[in-house]
Chains A and B, each alone.
Chain A
Amino acid sequence: MKRLLLKGTCTAVVLSVAMSVLAGCGSGQNAAEQSAAAQSTAALETPAPGSKSEPVKISFMDLWAKDKAENISTSVREALADFQKNNADIIVEEEAIGDQTAYYTKIKTLAASNELPDIFICKGSELAMFAKNQAVAPLDEILDADAAWKEGYVTSAFDDLTSDGKIYAVPYSMLSTHVIYYNKKILADAGVQAFPETWADFKTMIDKIKAKGIVPIALGNKEQWVAESCILSTLGDRFTGPDWFNGIKDNKGAKFTDPDFIKSLAALQELGKAGAFNKDMNSINNDQQKTLYFNGKAAMFMEGSWAIGAVMAGPEEIAGNTEVAVLPSVDGGKGDPKSMSGGAGSGFASGVKGFGSKKEAVAKVLKAISGPEYAKSIAEKGEPTAYKVSDYDKSKVSPLAVKYAEMASKLKFTPIYDSYLNPAVVSKMNAGLQELLISTITPEELAKRIQAEYEKVK
């Protein structure tokens, strides 16, 4: 028995030695690689004149799936490919993660260890926090160095991407989160000739459509952001006007319990009570709300300008009958009825570490993927741009996109709630809206709840 024990100890020792040898091998190899890496970075920091063999590497992270044919991502990739042809000294290494939640999980991990990519896509609301922690670099320096570039953007383009007066990202598109896509044939069948201009007419229209046995508004709010981002951001502004929201944003005394905001919540609940939405709104998502619309089972749906492509790809007879509109004016509302929630939303930001050492290269790449040529290319695909483009070929643009562009040119942008508010407040609001729509909570209660969260994180 004693020998058995001894043998056991031997085995344990042998095993542990083997393990440490294995580990040792690994680290030895690493040490070699690390020193190689150190050498190459040293070479980067002191570029010898004429040594073109060491190109600058720019890491670029985006949330566009690789084989996806979404307009913006294809244009960005085309712009990058062109850029690579003309700039052999800069190599852009792209990493794409298609799923938003996963993308931001990774971005936050990278931010926590100060390893953010040299260029990456970031939402305005996340950006404020990164800016506070000094994980992203302010881009004013490179923007001010090229005035023509900076002034080329449309007026409110940087609003979503500014924090404490500094610009932290450059926008690549201006999108609206609120567009009402409606089927004019269904409306006509229900006896509505033109899209209503007042809230009262809007509600009459809802009743008429409902009487025909068709769902007036298809809503897929399972993921919670649709009701807030695509409806309430605009509906709220109709009642409160932009001053109220600025007061909220800058902590200047405005409250979610203010009567105007409560009115907007009440109006939304009123729609819910009037049966304007499909009953399963909290269990389907925004793709499925379009399914209802494509089947002709719903007269309209509200989503951002990004849905134009999806509608055009939908069944022909539905796509042909689709028109765009925005919510009508409301009685006693302080907001401009000729407006819709929208903005840049996200932009290209730059991690502090990479920006510090590769400023020029970062600036060049940013210009290529957000500047004039890129903007022209997305304008020709019918996407709203953040950069002023005057002449582009409209013949390539889908009819619905032209309709949208015409409407958008007459409208102002108002802030999208979730791109400014603290994520904790947004998630309280989003979750509450689900309850509001099925009337398990009153507008006042929800307002109080949001306000409480708002004060907690202030």
Chain B
Amino acid sequence: MKSILSKIGKYVFNIIMIMFSITCIFPVIWILYSSLKTKDEFMLDIISLPARPRLDNYYHAFVEGKMYTYFISSIFNSFTTVFLVILIAFCIGYVLSRYRFKGRNFIYTLFIAGMLIPVYALIVPLFVQFKVLGLYDRFFTLVIPYIAIRLPLAIFLFESFIKTVPVELDEAAYMDGASTFFTMSRIILPVCKPVLSTILILAFLDTWNEFPFALVLVTKEIYRTIPVGLTNFYGQYTTDYTTLMAAMVLSILPVIIVYLLFNKKIIQGMTAGAVKG
């Protein structure tokens, strides 16, 4: 009797959870099939399935809406940022966790304090700075603040994760004659895989979706990223929803792909890095 009750309880619990999941996944599914509808169909009924699925919206978004230029610049920005953030944060994190030197705590605190600054407080000062330094509206403009903003969290995660890795590992490598570079890249980095994928996903997501800097710091069409490009599908008073949705599907695909590739590691990395530190 008890086991039946607990079984029923499990089912009820599962059903509730499934319903919750549906509320999360439904918007994505809705965007997916709505992007296959014509504008008229959408205007008449926003929930119904497409009568005859068509890919016109994708053509509009990608070719006529010039989504491909936004794609290229988004990919450039995200990949460069993720790569450099991991490279720099790993080096800094390694040094901060393995060596005790004067000013170590100061440097660490300085980086961590960076997490506290809200992005919107930076926009105007950064804009002025970039304008004066001649960094405004270049192909590398966005990469600079992106790296700077993603660094603190990445350093924090690396630092606390590397702390949990036994120092004996380094010492053993040293005894065997490994150089510092070799120890970092071949011994410690592979151990850091879980936290590495956490940082990779977080940095990629943040960069891919970043809006305020991309809006303000670049002007030229070719340097614009997808989030800013998506605003092109809004009119002053009307919105072309179906094309916008096709564009959205295109823009969330890479995120979903990156997430699926690394998602197994992300939870492991989150807990491993944060709690033991």
- Chain A interface (Cβ within 8 Å of chain B)? 4-5, 7-12, 15, 26-27, 30, 33-34, 37, 63-68, 70, 73, 95-100, 102, 105-106, 109-110, 112-113, 115, 286-288, 290-291, 294-295, 304, 306-307, 309-310, 314-315
Note all chain A residues with C-beta closer than 8 A to B259: none
Kindly report which residue of chain B lies nearest to residue A30, judged by CB atoms. B134
Note all chain B residues with C-beta closer than 8 A to A30: 133-135
B98 CB-CB contact with A under 8 Å: yes
Across the interface, A294 reaches (CB within 8 A) one of B43, B91, B228, namely: B43
Note all chain B residues with C-beta closer than 8 A to A294: 43-44
Indicate whether A102 sits within 8 Å of B236 (C-beta atoms), given known contacts A8-B95, A9-B99, A27-B133. Answer: no
Across the interface, B128 reaches (CB within 8 A) one of A9, A10, A100, A113, namely: A113
B133 contacts A96, C-beta separation under 8 Å: no
Indicate whether A37 sits within 8 Å of B134 (C-beta atoms), given known contacts A8-B99, A64-B236, A112-B124. Answer: yes
A70 contacts B235, C-beta separation under 8 Å: yes
Note all chain A residues with C-beta closer than 8 A to B83: none
Note all chain A residues with C-beta closer than 8 A to B64: 67
B239 contacts A287, C-beta separation under 8 Å: yes
Note all chain A residues with C-beta closer than 8 A to B128: 113
Indicate whether A102 sits within 8 Å of B231 (C-beta atoms), given known contacts A113-B128, A115-B131, A314-B43. Answer: yes
Note all chain B residues with C-beta closer than 8 A to A105: 212, 215-216
Give, as a whole number of angstroms, the nearest-CB distance from A33 to chain B: 6
Kindly report which residue of chain B lies nearest to residue A66, judged by CB atoms. B232
Q: A4-B171, A110-B127 are in contact. List 15 more A-B contacts (CB 8 A).
A: A7-B180, A9-B99, A12-B95, A30-B133, A65-B234, A66-B66, A68-B240, A70-B235, A70-B237, A97-B228, A106-B215, A287-B241, A295-B45, A306-B238, A307-B237
A5 contacts B235, C-beta separation under 8 Å: no
B219 CB-CB contact with A under 8 Å: yes
A4 to B64, CA, bound (A): 59
Chain B residues 131 to 165 lying within 8 A of chain A, measured CB to CB, are: 131, 133-135
A109 contacts B43, C-beta separation under 8 Å: no
Give, as a whole number of angstroms, the nearest-CB distance from B123 to chain A: 6
Chain B residues 44 to 84 lying within 8 A of chain A, measured CB to CB, are: 44-46, 60, 64-66
Note all chain B residues with C-beta closer than 8 A to A306: 236-238
A286 to B239, CA, bound (A): 10
Give, as a whole number of angstroms, the nearest-CB distance from A22 to chain B: 10
Note all chain A residues with C-beta closer than 8 A to B236: 63-64, 70, 73, 98, 100, 306
A220 to B92, CA, bound (A): 52
**5 contacting pairs across A/B (C-beta < 8 A):** A37-B134, A63-B236, A64-B236, A65-B231, A287-B241
B: number of interface residues (CB 8 Å): 45
A310 contacts B238, C-beta separation under 8 Å: yes
- Chain B interface (Cβ within 8 Å of chain A)? 40, 43-46, 60, 64-66, 91, 95, 98-101, 123-124, 127-128, 131, 133-135, 170-171, 174, 180-181, 211-212, 215-216, 219, 228, 231-241
Note all chain A residues with C-beta closer than 8 A to B44: 291, 294-295, 315
A105 to B217, CA, bound (A): 12
Note all chain A residues with C-beta closer than 8 A to B43: 290-291, 294, 314
Indicate whether A98 sits within 8 Å of B234 (C-beta atoms), given known contacts A11-B180, A113-B124. Answer: yes
Note all chain A residues with C-beta closer than 8 A to B237: 70, 286, 304, 306-307
Kindly report which residue of chain A lies nearest to residue B98, judged by CB atoms. A8
Across the interface, B134 reaches (CB within 8 A) one of A8, A33, A65, A102, namely: A33
A307 to B44, CA, bound (A): 16
Give, as a whole number of angstroms, the nearest-CB distance from B212 to chain A: 7
Give, as a whole number of angstroms, the nearest-CB distance from B48 to chain A: 11
Kindly report which residue of chain B lies nearest to residue A63, judged by CB atoms. B236
A67 contacts B65, C-beta separation under 8 Å: yes
Note all chain B residues with C-beta closer than 8 A to A10: 180
A375 to B124, CA, bound (A): 37
Kindly report which residue of chain A lies nearest to residue B241, judged by CB atoms. A287
| A68, A98, A109, A288: most-surrounded residue (chain B CB, <10 A) | A98
Across the interface, A95 reaches (CB within 8 A) one of B95, B124, B133, B219, namely: B219
Give, as a whole number of angstroms, the nearest-CB distance from B97 to chain A: 11
Note all chain B residues with C-beta closer than 8 A to A11: 91, 95, 180-181
Give, as a whole number of angstroms, the nearest-CB distance from B216 to chain A: 5
Note all chain B residues with C-beta closer than 8 A to A64: 235-236
Indicate whether A109 sits within 8 Å of B133 (C-beta atoms), given known contacts A4-B174, A67-B64. Answer: no
Give, as a whole number of angstroms, the nearest-CB distance from A60 to chain B: 11
Note all chain B residues with C-beta closer than 8 A to A287: 238-239, 241
A62 to B35, CA, bound (A): 27
Note all chain A residues with C-beta closer than 8 A to B133: 27, 30
A99 contacts B231, C-beta separation under 8 Å: yes
Give, as a whole number of angstroms, the nearest-CB distance from B71 to chain A: 16
A97 contacts B231, C-beta separation under 8 Å: yes
A97 to B135, CA, bound (A): 21
